[in-house]
Structure 1
Amino acid sequence: MILDKGSKIHFALLLVVALVFVWSAINPSDYLDWLAEVSPGVIIIIIVIVTYNKFRFTTLSYFIIALLSILTFIGGHYTYSEVPLFNWIKDEFDLKRNNYDRFGHFLKGLLAIVIREVLLRNTQLVKGAWLFGISTSIVLSIAALYEIVEWLSTKISKGGKVSKDFLGMQGDKWDAQWDMLLAFVGSILALAIFSKLHDKMLNKSGKV
């Protein structure tokens, strides 16, 4: 099978994601927490692979999916509150918490580009305010759903260590609100910064 340039890039991204996944599975902080953290990323990767020939995203969308998957694998390996680089940042700048989870939720705003592509290619929506508003709203709803899942995990496991690591509040009662806000702000910035590049890729590929 001869791969075109785009397919080679997509395969390279998949290889990098697979390598990080294997690394994350080797002696994680806690296997149950690791499983809870990496499951969403694994499910998305499987869906992307299965639908690759039927619905091929732009390289920008695949890059975003790969990046977000890698972030979840790193968080699952260490737990989000113990990622070494952000522990160093915490100590160096005398911060109150490890902000890797906040960083991750902010970057989850990049999903707005992936959602934008799905909407442009599968609905009657066109570029403009409605597309922008619906894309950011879906990102915000995903962020809210994730917070609900985190909350339910503490109820089901009755506040055990794994659920606390998964929840990752680090003593901040407004953690869920911060996470949702950062995802929302990230989605607005992602659309503002990358929409033109995304449009070029969509036009070049003839997908829109």
Structure 2
Amino acid sequence: MERKSSRTIHVWLLLIVIAVFIWSLIKPASYLSWVLESTPAIIVLIIVLITYKRFQLTTLSYVIIAIMAILMFVGGHYTFSNVPLFNWIKDTFDFKRNHYDRFGHFLKGMFGIVIRELLLRKTTLTKGTWLFFIVTSISLAISALYEIIEWISFIIGKGGKTAKNFLGNQGDIWDAQWDMVLALAGTIIALLFLSKLHNWFLRNELKNVQKGE
């Protein structure tokens, strides 16, 4: 894939994310909830934009980052427990909860591909079992850290409405464990099914990939 073509795709991805970002700011369920849910995505996007010229990721990684950002902006707008489509799914299939949060944690496992790219390009690691294990471990650690942040926010918020929306457990005492298991499953599936595609992007888009890739 030519660099000019790649950059065009990157620009379109950015424009789509910006459009969703602006939409999410228009009359959200709660501005405080929006800040809590959207801040991680905003931080990642700022880092990506600042480092773009000196450390450009593959288009696949940018697609994954864009999906993650959109996921969090949508959740920030409605709160993760009240996304309309998943409320409809809940009512239609008689589920006990809105599963957008669970769906989001599973999809966040795709971020393992971004972690994989950083490790391949910035460390001496090469493809193989150790790379798979380390990427999976880092992804699970990030998921656990996020659950800890949610817990701390709940304590600081003294269990108020905003804190409950951010925690999003919907009465499930095992919600944190489910979220981490789904993130782990999402990471493993992403590595199993997207690694070859990721290798193709690394070979065809980047000129400075480390030896071994």
TM-score, with length taken from structure 1: 0.98
Unaligned runs of at least 5 residues, structure 2: none
Taking structure 1 as reference, are residues 7 and 158 closer, same or farther at Cα in structure 2, changes over 3 Å only? same
Residue 31, structure 1, aligned to residue 31, structure 2: yes
Q: Work out the number of aligned pairs and report it.
A: 206
* Separation in 2, partners of 1:120, 1:60: 15
- Counterpart of 2:66 in structure 1 is 66
Residue 22, structure 1, aligned to residue 13, structure 2: no
Q: CA offset at residue 207 of structure 1?
A: 3.6
Q: CA offset at residue 187 of structure 1?
A: 0.2
* Separation in 1, partners of 2:149, 2:181: 17
Q: Which range moves more in the overlay, 152-161 or 116-125?
A: 152-161
Deviations 1:170-204 (A, max 9, x none): 00000000000000000000000000010011011
Q: How does 1:144-183 map to 2 (within 5 A)?
A: 144-183=144-183
Q: CA offset at residue 157 of structure 1?
A: 1.2
* Separation in 2, partners of 1:26, 1:170: 25
- Counterpart of 1:5 in structure 2 is 5
- Counterpart of 1:43 in structure 2 is 43
* Separation in 2, partners of 1:150, 1:198: 31
Letter in 1 for 2:181: L
Letter in 1 for 2:17: V
- Counterpart of 1:83 in structure 2 is 83
Letter in 2 for 1:189: I
* Separation in 1, partners of 2:85, 2:160: 26
Q: CA offset at residue 206 of structure 1?
A: 2.6
* Separation in 2, partners of 1:154, 1:199: 41
Deviations 1:61-113 (A, max 9, x none): 00000000000000000000000000000000000000000000000000110
- Counterpart of 1:197 in structure 2 is 197
Letter in 1 for 2:202: L
Deviations 1:95-135 (A, max 9, x none): 00000000000000001100000000000000000000000
Q: CA RMSD in A?
A: 0.8
* Separation in 1, partners of 2:208, 2:131: 17
The 3-state SS of whatever aligns with 2:131 is helix
Q: How does 1:84-123 map to 2 (within 5 A)?
A: 84-123=84-123
Letter in 2 for 1:133: F
Deviations 1:133-179 (A, max 9, x none): 00011110000000000000011111111000000000000000000
The 3-state SS of whatever aligns with 1:57 is coil
The 3-state SS of whatever aligns with 1:81 is coil
* Separation in 1, partners of 2:116, 2:208: 13
- Counterpart of 2:54 in structure 1 is 54
* Separation in 2, partners of 1:9, 1:207: 20
Identity %: 61
Letter in 1 for 2:4: D
Q: Which runs of 4+ in 1 moved over 3 A?
A: none
